[in-house]
Structure 1
Amino acid sequence: MSVNAISKRYARALVEIGTEQKKVEQFADELDGILAAFSEEKNLRLVLTSPTFPFEKRSAILTEVAKKLKLSAPIRNFLGLLLEKGRLQVLPQIVAEYRRFADELSGILRAQVAAASALDEEQIKVIRAGLEKQTGKKVILDTKVNPELIGGLKAEIGGRVFDGSLSTQLKRIEDTLTKG
C-alpha cells in the first residue's frame, strides 16, 4: 500500500474519532506537538522508527514522550498503534492529511501567498477577503516574501495557483513578442 493511501486511511480514522469526541482541533495541536518533538530531536524519531531497537523499549520511550507532551489518551493510543504497525515514520504525512480532512470538516481552506515584499495587516485582510469571496470558505493565509516575483502576488489555494506576479506578466509579454 502506498504512503499516500496509508496516511489518508489513518488520518481519516483519527478525524472521525476527533469528531465523535469533539476534539478535532485539540488532536491537531497534539499531533503538531509530537511532530515538533521529532524535528527537534532527530534521534528520538530515529530510535522510535528503527526496527533494530526492541519494540518494548520503543514503546516505553513513546509513552514517556507522550507523558512529557501531555498528550490525550486517544492520541497516545493512536501513536502506540502506529508504533505497533511500523507506521510511525509516516506520521508527517498523516498529520498533513489530518489537517486537510479537519479543514474540510470546518469549511476552512489554507492558502500560501508569496509577495515581492512584506505585506501589512490591511493588505493581508484584503487578500483573505478576496480569496474567501472566490472560494466561499474561510481562508487561513500563510504569507512569505519572495523577491524573485519583482512585484505582485502569487497565491496557492486548494491546489490552484493564482499568479499575479510581475515576473510572470513580463514573461508573458516576452513570449508574445518573440512569437510575433
Structure 2
Amino acid sequence: NNPIIQSWRVRAGSDLLSGAATIAVEKVFLAEVTPASPKDNDIALVKLRSPVHDSDSTKPICLPYFDEELVPGTPLWVIGWGYTEEHGKLSERLQQAEVELIDGQSCNLAAYHGDVTDRMLCAGLPQGGVDTCQGDSGGPLLYSGGHWQVVGIVSWGQGCGTPSTPGVYTSVRAYLDWIYAV
C-alpha cells in the first residue's frame, strides 16, 4: 500500500499524451539492483488494477524468444513522449523512430568504456540524429520480425542523437526468467 504507487497511472489507447485512458497501478515488481553493476537490472513489471482491453488503438505485444539473438544492424523501433531534442520539452504526440542494433563491444569502445553489460542492448544510428531522450525512459525498443516484440527498455545514454553515442536499453531477453517468475 505504498501511497506513491497508489497515485500512479498508466496511459493507453492514444497517441496523444492528454488523450489516453488512464489505468491505476496495483503493484510494482522491481529487479534487484546490485552494487557491483548498478546500471544492470533497470527493469520493473507493473500490475494494473484493471485489464487493458484489446482494441483498434491498444494491442498486446510479445516478449522475445529465449533463443532468438538479434544481430547488429537489425532494424528496431523506439516510441515515446520524451524530448524531441536535448534540453527540449516533452512531446504531446507519441513519437516513433527507426534505429538499428549496435553490438555491445563496439558500443562500449566508442562511448561507454565498459559500462554496457551483456544484460543491455545498444541501439541508434552511427551518424546520430535519431535516439531516445529525456522522458523516454522505461519505453519500449521494438522488433518486428514476424510479429512485434519488445526486446529492450529505454535505460540510459549520453545526449540525444549524438553521433557514435547510441542509446542503452535493458535487454528484455536477459530477464525472461525473472519476468516469468514474477
When the two structures are superposed, what TM-score results if normalisation uses the length of structure 2?
A: 0.20
Work out which of the two has the higher radius of gyration on C-alpha atoms and give 1 or 2: 1
More helix by share: 1
More strand by share: 2
